[in-house]
A and B are shown apart, each in its own frame.
Chain A
Amino acid sequence: MDVPDDDRLVRHAKDGDLEAFAELARRHQRRIFHTVMNFMQNPADADDLTQETFLHAYRNLRNFRGGSSFFTWIYRIAVNLSLNHLKKHRREKGRTELRDDIALDPAGPAGSDPESGSLADELRRKLGEAVGSLPVPYQAAFRLVAVEGMSHGQAARILGCAENTVSWRMFKARRILQDRLKPYLEREVPHALF
């Protein structure tokens, strides 16, 4: 059976074929969800924003000229909606800079406490919190490059900035994260000199 590629589905969707667009959504919803989830850290918000991404794409489908793949296009929409959501959320909380209230345990990592899970799990959980507390531009670069595995160039195209800007933001993000996670990293990297 002939399986239409994305380009053909986009053409059909532009002609009003709703099922064609639904098929595009079916193909890409998981990756879009995961991308949005990276930013939201909340499945309900990520689900809503995934829906909004596809609705936004549907409303603006006639503006999609095919200069990039359909996935790249909706990926960019998803990232932009996520960033807007984060910015709005932070404005509402009156928080524009790195927040200081990350729930890092003042006693440091739980270490051998069996109820708290492994040190690696704890580091991962705290890393998620620390990434979520980064200023939005740094967070966006970190999520696209370190979490999603994009190159600086790919992230720059998504974020609409220069590669050098992504490089700088990544460097700043790594420094902030190291500072915020110092107690946990010291346990994981015993010879590290912080």
Chain B
Amino acid sequence: MRCSEFQRWISDGLAGALPEEKRKRLDEHLRRCPSCRSFERAARLIQEEAPRLAEDAAPEESWAAGLDRLKRRLSAEAVRSGRESRRGPLWKWAFAAAPLVLAAAAGLFLLFRPAGQMEALLPIAADERLGDLSFEIADNPELMNAFNQVLESTLGEELGVDASARSGGFDNPILYQEVTDEELAFVLEELKKELRS
């Protein structure tokens, strides 16, 4: 048996993982092998010092401060997760909300479009809905993406265009600067229907 194999036994022995039978054979080997005795001494010294590496501790007052910080983060997490659980399945909700999305999109069109006559038509109600909607989707990229897809496909069907090919998402203001008057008129019609309902 080679010394490297005995040295592995030494390592196991320091972790209390060496069976008695191997221990006896190792002891015999150590009596006649200075190289392995040297390995054992050094390994034992490192082993003795190692637990002291864990002695660095944070100051006493930092525990309470750390716990306070954690509680604040947990509270925020709880609010967020509660909101998400109320939302239910993402896609189901996104499809159900499609009409509202259209209405909100109309508001976005008007908000981001360069100044023009259409802005005078922006209904306050839509602005409020838009605020709620923005709040709901702002911190959830997945949901935002779902909205975008629903909105784009709906617009695409109605207008016979591929809205997604042009947009970087409906959170991208550049999109609204490229909307044609025909498209905007359609969205406004949808918005009016939504408000009437």
Show the binding face of A for B, using Cβ within 8 Å: 16, 18, 21-22, 25-26, 29-30, 33-34, 37-38, 43, 46-47, 50-51, 54-55, 58-59, 120, 123-124, 127-128, 131, 142-143, 145-149, 151-152, 163, 167-168, 170-171, 174-175, 177-178, 181, 185, 188-189, 191-194
Contacts and interface: CB of A to CB of B under 8 A. Distances in A.
Nearest to A189: B41
Nearest to B12: A167
A175 to B, nearest CB: 7
Given A171-B11, A189-B38, A127 B50 contact: yes
Contacts of B16: 151
Given A22-B71, A192-B42, A38 B54 contact: yes
Contacts of A26: 67
A151 B50 contact: no
Nearest to B71: A22
A92 B21 CA distance: 46
B62 A47 contact: yes
Chain B: interface size category: 35 or more
23 contacts: A22-B70, A25-B74, A29-B67, A30-B63, A34-B54, A37-B54, A50-B66, A51-B73, A120-B49, A131-B53, A146-B47, A151-B15, A152-B15, A167-B12, A168-B8, A170-B15, A171-B11, A174-B11, A174-B14, A185-B45, A189-B41, A192-B38, A193-B38
Interface in B51-81: 51-54, 56-58, 62-63, 66-67, 69-71, 73-75, 77-78, 81
Nearest to A13: B74
B159 interface: no
Contacts of A188: 45
B95 interface: no
Given A25-B70, A58-B74, 13 more contacts: A22-B74, A29-B67, A47-B66, A55-B74, A128-B53, A131-B50, A131-B53, A142-B50, A163-B17, A175-B7, A178-B42, A181-B42, A191-B41
Given A51-B66, A55-B74, A146 B56 contact: no
Contacts of B47: 146
Chain B interface mostly: helix
A167 B8 contact: yes
B8 A189 contact: no
B17 A124 contact: no
B120 to A, nearest CB: 46
B11 A170 contact: yes
B43 interface: yes
Contacts of A145: 15
Given A147-B53, A171-B7, A189 B45 contact: yes
A167 B11 contact: yes
Q: Which of B8, B11, B39 has the most CB of A within 10 A?
A: B11
B67 A174 contact: no
Nearest to A185: B42
A185 B49 CA distance: 11
B35 interface: yes
B125 to A, nearest CB: 34
B17 A152 contact: yes
B46 interface: yes
A177 B71 CA distance: 40
Contacts of B7: 171, 175
A175 B56 CA distance: 25
